[in-house]
Amino acid sequence: MDEVMGIHFSMLVITCLLMLTMGVQAYYSIAISSKLNRTFIYCFILITFCAVMDWFRLTLNGSTAPVYLHYLAVSSEYASAPLVVLLIIRVLGRMRENYFLVPLFVLNIILQFSTGFTNWIFYIDDANMFVRGDYFRVYVAIYTIGIFTMYRAVHKCSQEYQNRNYKMLLLSIISLTVGVGMNEFGATENRTTFLAVAIASTLFYIYFMEISIQMDSLTKLLNRRCFDKHIKQLSYDTAIVFFDVNQFKSINDNYGHKHGDIVLQQVASNIRYVFGNMGYIYRIGGDEFAMILKPGQLEKMNYLLMVELLEQRLDKVRQNENPILPSVSIGHAIYREGMNKADVISLADQRMYIHKNGSGRS
């Protein structure tokens, strides 16, 4: 028993130290927004609190401590644990579409703190031992709904960031699933939940740090640094496509830079809407964008259709949202393994300017 307690205590210490380290990192970090950092800090604090409550209920099992303290420790842990999922969903920016979780988790809190009278979720027996109640599966069901909702939010977030560093998200999901699954769904409790949640939240934080380095803050597209890195690492046949917003200088001169930013955001979102499934989209300059086709997409590419589809989409925006939205010039070049990448980029750039000058849109 002493050996088991020692293992559980070691897991608690590791969890607390990891969350303290990540909390300090988030507090001083300027890589991501202060709002995201605050949410991460709340998440790290909540995980630490749950881990400590979990340790308390383990030490209280079979002890001579007052029963109400045992109830308080377990209720606090079970009421707080699903809230970690809610904070992660908030970090992912998916709170609005998943707001249905709020009343569900409020119900869970009520159930946990009333179980001392009902014994529905759990109870403390005469030997001061924790015992799962007849309706413990209600808690498991609420937690499971939260976790799968989080997985869906993770998937959408991954798509929003063009599936960059998706392996980091996958590792966090595996960590969370294994740890929570072993603890909550197993026949015995292994005390792996909060160490797994701590590891998963750390991986989430690293993921968002990476995204902040790769992302253009205005358009939410991948940035020039990411484009250059992708070009350097290219090892498959693809096409490089350049986009340039026509007459953008006159937009800034006549309507101001604020409206110019709106134009860039609209152009970026519509390039991504039309071509997001085909390739990775980047903002590489002030009014310049680029796309590198994903593996297997080169054979499906129809350049003339691409030009037509984008213009149709922009025209729809002009009719419904922004009548002065400018047109976009496009140029592309095909890259095959062994070709000089700089030459391919230069050719795509030349073709883009031919399109611009040929249509009188410069």
Amino acid at residue number 257: H
- CA 124, distance to chain mean position in Å, is 39
- Give the closest residue to 302 by CA, choosing from 334, 339, 270: 334
Q: pLDDT tens digits for the chain (362 residues)?
A: 577 788 889 989 999 999 999 999 999 998 888 988 999 999 999 999 999 999 998 899 999 999 999 999 999 999 999 999 999 999 888 999 999 999 999 999 999 999 999 999 999 999 999 999 999 999 989 988 998 898 888 878 877 777 666 777 777 777 777 776 666 555 455 567 788 889 888 988 988 888 888 889 899 999 999 999 999 999 999 999 999 999 999 999 999 999 999 999 999 999 999 999 899 999 999 999 999 999 999 998 998 898 899 999 999 999 998 998 999 999 999 999 999 999 999 999 999 999 988 754 54
Task: Please name every residue paired with 131 in a beta bridge, in sequence order, or none if there are none.
Answer: 123
Topology of the domain covering 2-214 = Rhopdopsin 7-helix transmembrane proteins (1.20.1070)
> How many helices, marked H, and strands, marked E, lie in the chain?
12, 6
What's the confidence (pLDDT) of residue 96? 92
Topology of the domain covering 224-358 = Alpha-Beta Plaits (3.30.70)
**DSSP string of 57-113, one letter each residue:** HHHHTTSSS-HHHHHHHHHHHHHHHHHHHHHHHHHTT-TGGGTTHHHHHHHHHHHHH
Contact call for residues 131 and 115 (beta carbons, < 8 A): no
How many C-alpha atoms does 153 have within 13 Å on its Cβ side?
23
Instruction: Give the Å distances, CA to CA, from 249 to 244, 246, 255.
Output: 12, 8, 10
Strand order in the sheet with 328-335: 279-283, 288-293, 238-245, 328-335
Contacts of 306 (CB under 8 A, 6+ apart): 241, 274, 275, 330, 332
Q: Residue ranges of the domains in the chain?
A: 2-214, 224-358
* Helix axes of 193-214 and 2-28: crossing angle, nearest 10 degrees: 20
Q: How far apart are CA 257 and CA 207, in angstroms?
A: 32
Indicate the pTM of the whole model: 0.84
Q: How far apart are CA 204 and CA 202, in angstroms?
A: 5
Q: How far apart are CA 265 and CA 268, in angstroms?
A: 5
For the chain, the C-alpha Rg in angstroms (whole number) is: 26
What's the confidence (pLDDT) of residue 341? 96
